[in-house]
Amino acid sequence: MLISFIRIIKFAFQNFWRNIWLSIATLSIIVLTLISISSLIFVTVLTNEAINSVKQLVDLNVSFKPEVTLEEVQEIEVSLRELEQVSTTVFISKTEALKEFEAFHKDEELIQESLKELDENPLGHALVVKAKNLEDYPFVLTFFQEEGREDKIQEFNKNFEKHEVILEKMALVTKRVRELALAISIVFVLIAVLIVFNTIRIAIYTHSEEISIMKLVGASNAFVRGPFIFESFWYAFIATAITLALLYPLVNVVNPYINQFFSSNFDLVTYYTQNIVWIGLYEFVGMLLLNLVATSVALGKYLDV
């Protein structure tokens, strides 16, 4: 058993080296496929990031009346956080609000003057609420409009409402973009699967004569299959390693352009280095399964001797 196993691995490597050009061709196709799949992953991540960064611009800024106390606001914040539609809340105290206000209007003398004349802070506390989805803002708004809350509120800065039309369009566009990306991905993966499948089939077809000879001198199916199965494993492994190595410089080259495009601090290189293990693992396992299926299917008809 063990001796067969060792022989199978030896034959697999012999096969690989003695058909080095065919091996390289097969390997290149697999690597190219994996690079394309990886690019698809990156594009998906970037699309999501673009959608998110737009979402980040949208929030609901609730300013409370100056007489509303810190405790009252904090109480509201706590119940607000219990809503599943709410993603984050940020508390802004009176003092902070004033500072921001001053900073924002620092070039406007008139406002600066009038601020100085007031002894007391005219502003109240504020809460900045981000909902999970764009569609959730109206609901969050009704929360503030409930009895006992509405009269504590000075004003809403409903930038989601200002952008309502744009946002509606955005929501639609992002939905379409996602659907399109999914459709493209499916087509793309299908093409990749077909290409790899056929590449493996051709590689095995070139061995069809040998396979029948092996069977005629008394090799069992398992013994003939063994080296090919091991080669599948080896191809998937090497191809994944090469792909990951090639992607690193590629990602570094495109990264500056992506950074320019995203004002947010999304960084593709960071994303890549943080997720390299998962990307590698998924691609390896996916490619291995594909190779194994292709190999078994392709071998099937030649083994029947």
Partner 1 sequence: MWYTKNTVIVFKGVSKKYPPNVYALKDATLHIKPGEFVSIVGQSGVGKTTMAKLITAEQSPTKGKIIIGGWDISRIKNRAKPILRRQIGVIYQDFKLLPRKTVYENIAFALQVSGFPRSKIVKIVPQVVKIVGLEEKEERFPKQLSGGEKQRVAIARALAHRPKVLVADEPTGNLDTVNTNEIVDLLLKINGFGTTVVLVTHNREVVNGLKKRVVTLEEGEVVSDQAHGKYMI
Interface with partner 1 (CB under 8 A): 3-4, 7, 14-15, 18-19, 209-210, 213-221, 223, 304-305
Give me the least distance between CB of 42 and partner 1, in Å please. 40
> Hey, which residues does 92 pair with through a beta bridge?
126
CB 147 within 8 A of CB 110: no
Q: Bridge partners of 63?
A: 126, 155
Query: Tell me, what amino acid is at 289?
Result: L
Judged by beta carbon, residue 110 or residue 216, the one nearer partner 1 is 216
Q: Measured from the CB of residue 230, what is the shortest distance to partner 1 in angstroms?
A: 15
Which three-class secondary structure state does DSSP give residue 63? strand
Q: How far apart are CA 185 and CA 45, in angstroms?
A: 13
- Of 4 and 114, which CB lies nearer to partner 1 in the complex structure? 4
First to last CA, the chain: 23
What is the phi/psi pair of residue 86, to 5°?
-90, 130
Q: How far is the CB of 213 from partner 1 (least distance, A)?
A: 5
For partner 1, the closer CB: 4 or 270: 4
Nearest distance, CB of residue 43 and partner 1, angstroms: 42
In angstroms, what CA-CA distances link 297 with 31, 198, 259?
22, 11, 45
CA–CA separation, 294 vs 116, rounded Å?
78
Secondary structure string (H, E, C) spanning 214-278? HHHCCCCHHHHHHHHHHHHHHHHHHHHHHHHHHHHHHHHHHHHHHHHHCCCCCCHHHHHHHHHHH
Nearest residue (CB) to partner 1, 7 versus 169: 7
Q: Give the nearest distance from C-beta 33 to partner 1 in angstroms.
A: 26
Q: How far is the CB of 199 from partner 1 (least distance, A)?
A: 19
Q: Which CB, 15 or 232, lies closer to partner 1?
A: 15
> Which residue lies nearer to partner 1 by CB, 53 or 221?
221
